[in-house]
Amino acid sequence: MDAINSQGEDVPAAARRHRVVIIGSGFGGLTAAQQLEDADVDVTLVAMTGHHLFQPLLYQVATGILSVGEIAPSTRLVLRDQKNVTVTLGEVDQIDVAARTVHAQAGHVDFTLEYDSLIVAAGANQSYFGNDHFERWAPGMKTIDDALELRGRILGSFELAELTEDPEERRKLLTFVVVGGGPTGVEMAGQIGELANRTLKNSFRRIDPAEARIILLDAAPGLLPPFGEKLGKAAQKRLEELGVEVMLNAMVTDVDATGVEVKEEDGTTHRITTACKIWSAGVQASPLGKMIADQTEAEVDRAGRVQVTKDLSVPGHPEIFVIGDMMSLDKLPGVSPVAIQGAKHVAKHITREVAGKQTPADRPPFKYFDKGSMATVSRYSAVVKMGGIEFHGFFAWVMWLLVHLAFLIGFRNRLATLFSWGMHIVGDHRSHLSSTARFVYGRRAIDRVYGEEIPRSRIDPTS
């Protein structure tokens, strides 16, 4: 069968180079494309957004510290000098393992890509544990749209509280509930606390933002479980100093427009009345994982992650690799270093096999080098776990800043982020506190017009 090359011309099968299709432009997908720069392959990277999102800093967009552009550079521009890569916008809706094809769509355009090697790095979405209707009232924190919507909801709550004459309505508007005690939930609760107690101080005439009630809920007995009890308690103490109420062993059983229902450890339930809810309690891998598993010998775990072999390939299909948040192997966490190291491992072996230096049977197993974990709690406070070493406070916070700055793509983005952080640290200025009603209500309007099942790429191919 003939294929279509990157210029859209028919190429005889015998004359074409090895074709690598990468699904996803996150840490795994982008790193894999970059690592194949010197390989004798043609790479097509297909993703449903045109940017590479630095997701760990998304909460800072939601709370006005950083702009979207600082953490989401254009994938096309990042890879424009890499001549063997073609960047394609599209949402993959079908993978045919037997035919070795990927079908995708962007706007009104449908297209099919053929591959010799496939790298699936489509990431994960927010999980509501079977209660997907919660999303309407409690957005997650996985996309730029989520961050902008939450920014609008947070700022809008303060604005409406300034206007209302009803004390009960004001209390509801000034109550913020964050669900999930992992890094994202802790970081988000801390930033709302700083926003209320510092940034917005003296900026309203009828309300005191410091009177805001900020609640962090988690069904677990402690915050930041992967970091251990000591660091979890340190994070909790710092949050409580900011005025955040930490409720542990508390499971959310329902979410609606005006509040959340919470079930305590003893089985009792109570309701928290709140206008602004934020969900960060779990993740679910892309449905592409199950699509692959249904056609192969692979299995998926409860989170939808594909259980890969030791070399990160799909059982029985050495030409298909699954990396990042979509893979399940040795209980590795869904963090960016795992995705980056996995991408490098896969790209290395594709390069060697195309050059005839090894066969799939010769691949060594993937070995993850754990450089540690870190999370920021507030200004001047973070927690860091590096092997058996645990510490928190100012030094941990400085380390967090340096590591995240290094992981950003491009000198300009690093410089702009450093400037924004400097303004925030020195004078508590947040330069990106703008919001519009479209940020808040846009998703609901789209759902009403198009229906909730329509693929995202058909609604806005540039989102």
Yes or no: say if 420 and 394 are a contact pair by the CB < 8 Å rule: no
- For residue 240, indicate whether it is catalytic: no
As given in the structure block, the two tokens for residue 108 are 């009104």
Q: What stretches of 325-432 adopt beta strand conformation (E)?
A: 327-328, 373-378, 381-386, 389-393
Residue carrying structure tokens 């990160």: 312
As given in the structure block, the two tokens for residue 388 are 């058996």
- Cα–Cα nearest to 54, from 409, 420, 415, 421: 409
As given in the structure block, the two tokens for residue 229 are 């009890």
Angle at alpha carbon of residue 402, lines to 398 and 405, rounded to 5°: 135
How far apart (Å, rounded) are the C-alpha atoms in residues 460 and 74?
Answer: 16
Q: How many CB atoms lie within 10 A of CB 451?
A: 8
Q: How many CB atoms lie within 10 A of CB 203?
A: 11
Residue carrying structure tokens 């927010």: 126
What are the φ and ψ backbone dihedral angles of 363, each rounded to 5 degrees?
A: -65, 130
Q: How many CB atoms lie within 10 A of CB 410?
A: 14
- Cα–Cα nearest to 160, from 212, 234, 114: 212
Q: State how beta strands 18-23 and 41-47 pair.
A: parallel
Yes or no: say if 155 and 433 are a contact pair by the CB < 8 Å rule: yes
Name the active-site residue from 91, 114, 187, 353: 187
Angle at alpha carbon of residue 117, lines to 55 and 105, rounded to 5°: 60
Catalytic residues: 187
